[in-house]
Structure 1
Amino acid sequence: MLSLLLKGGIATAGAVAELTLDPQLKYWVLLPISVVMILTGILRQYVQVMISPGVKGQPRVKLTEGQYILKAQVLVGNGSNITDKSFQERKEYLSKLLASGKYVARTKAAQDGSTPNPLTDPGMSDAMMSMAKGNMASFIPQTVIMWWVNHFFAGFVLMKLPFPLTLRFKEMLQSGVMTADLDVRWVSAISWYFISVLGLNPVFNLLMNESVDDQLGVMQSQPAQEQDAMAQPAQVEATMKSLANDITIAQHECCFDNVEKRVLKLYA
Structure 2
Amino acid sequence: MAEDLVLDRAIRDWVLIPLSVVMVLIGFLRYFVSKLMRSYQTPDRKVVKEGQVVLRARNLRVAAGFIPTKSFWSRRVYFTNEENGLLHVPKEQAQNPQAQMFSDPNMAMDMMKKNISMIVPQTLTFTWVNFFFSGFVAAKIPFPLTHRFRGMLQNGIDLSTVDVSYVSGRSWYFLNLFGLRGLFSLILGEENATDDAQRMMQMGGFGFDPTKSLSAEKDSLDIIQHEWILPKMEKRAEDVLKKLLK
TM-score relative to the length of structure 1: 0.65
How far did 1:145 drift? Answer: 0.7
* 1:171/1:178 contact within 8 Å kept: no
1:74 alignment partner in structure 2: 59
Determine if contact 1:175/1:188 at 8 Å carries over to the other structure: yes
Measure the CA separation in 2 of the matches of 1:50 and 1:189.
32
Residues 266 and 95 of structure 1, relative CA distance in 2, 3 Å threshold? farther
Distance 1:36 1:51, change over 3 A: same
Q: Matched residues in 1 for 2:7 and 2:218: separation? A: 67
Secondary structure at the aligned position of 2:159 is classed as coil
Cα distance in 1, alignment partners of residues 80 and 108 from structure 2: 33
Q: Does residue 254 of the first structure (1) align with residue 234 of the second (2)?
A: no
Partner of 2:106: 126
Between Structure 1 and Structure 2, whose CA radius of gyration is higher? Answer: 1
Aligned residue identity for 1:254: L
The runs of 5 or more residues in structure 1 that have no matched partner are 1-14
| Maintained 8 Å contact 2:57/2:217 | no
Alpha-carbon offset, residue 34 of structure 1: 0.3
Corresponding residue SS for 1:184 = coil
Displacement of 1:95: 2.4
For 1:82-110, what per-residue CA distance to the aligned partner results, in whole angstroms no more than 9, with x for missing partners?
Answer: 4x4xx635643662675240657999xx6
Contact 1:37 1:196 in 2 (8 A): yes
Give the drift of 1:254.
2.7
Q: Contact 2:156–2:168 at 8 Å: present in 1 too?
A: yes
- In structure 2, the residue matched to 1:43 is 29
Residue-pair matches, total: 234
Aligned partner of 2:30: which letter?
R
% identical aligned pairs = 30
Is 1:143 the counterpart of 2:123 in the alignment?
A: yes
Alignment partners' CA distance in 2, 1:92 and 1:18: 72
Q: How far 1:149 sits from its partner (Å)? A: 0.9
Structure 1 residues 214 and 263, CA gap change in structure 2 (3 angstroms): farther
Deviation at 1:35, TM superposition (A): 0.3
After TM superposition, give the deviation of residue 57 of structure 1 in Å: 2.4
Relative to structure 1, the CA distance from residue 23 to residue 236 in structure 2 (aligned partners, 3 Å threshold; closer, same or farther) is: closer
Q: Give the aligned partner of residue 21 of structure 1.
A: 7
The question of whether the paired residues in 2 share the 8 Å contact of 1:101 and 1:240 is answered with no
Partner of 2:17, secondary structure, is helix
C-alpha spacing 1:95/1:138, structure 2 compared with 1 (3 Å):
same
What does the per-residue CA deviation read over 1:153-207, in whole Å, with 9 as the maximum and x for residues that have no partner?
A: 2222222222222333333322223224333322221121122112111221222
Return closer, same or farther for 1:23/1:65 CA change in 2, 3 Å cut-off: closer
Other-structure match for 1:184: 164
Equivalent residues in 2 for 1:1-268, closer than 5 Å: 16-54=2-40, 56-59=42-45, 67-68=52-53, 70-82=55-67, 84=68, 88-89=70-71, 91-92=73-74, 95=77, 98-99=80-81, 100-101=83-84, 119=99, 124-208=104-188, 210=189, 213-214=190-191, 226-228=208-210, 231=211, 243=221, 250-255=226-231, 257-258=234-235, 260-265=237-242, 267-268=244-245
Cα gap change, 1:250/1:134 in structure 2, threshold over 3 Å: closer, same or farther?
same
With normalisation by structure 2, the TM-score equals 0.70
Q: More deviation in 156-165 or 72-81?
A: 72-81
CA shift in 2, pair 1:75/1:265, >3 Å: farther
RMSD after superposition: 4.2
Q: What's the offset of the Cα at 1:54?
A: 3.2
Secondary structure of the structure 2 residue equivalent to 1:146: helix
Shift of 1:266: 5.8
Distance in 1 (alpha carbons) for counterparts of 2:72 and 2:162: 72
Q: Is the contact between residue 97 and residue 208 of structure 2 (CA under 8 Å) also seen in structure 1?
A: no
Extract unaligned runs of 5+ from structure 2.
Answer: 194-198, 200-204
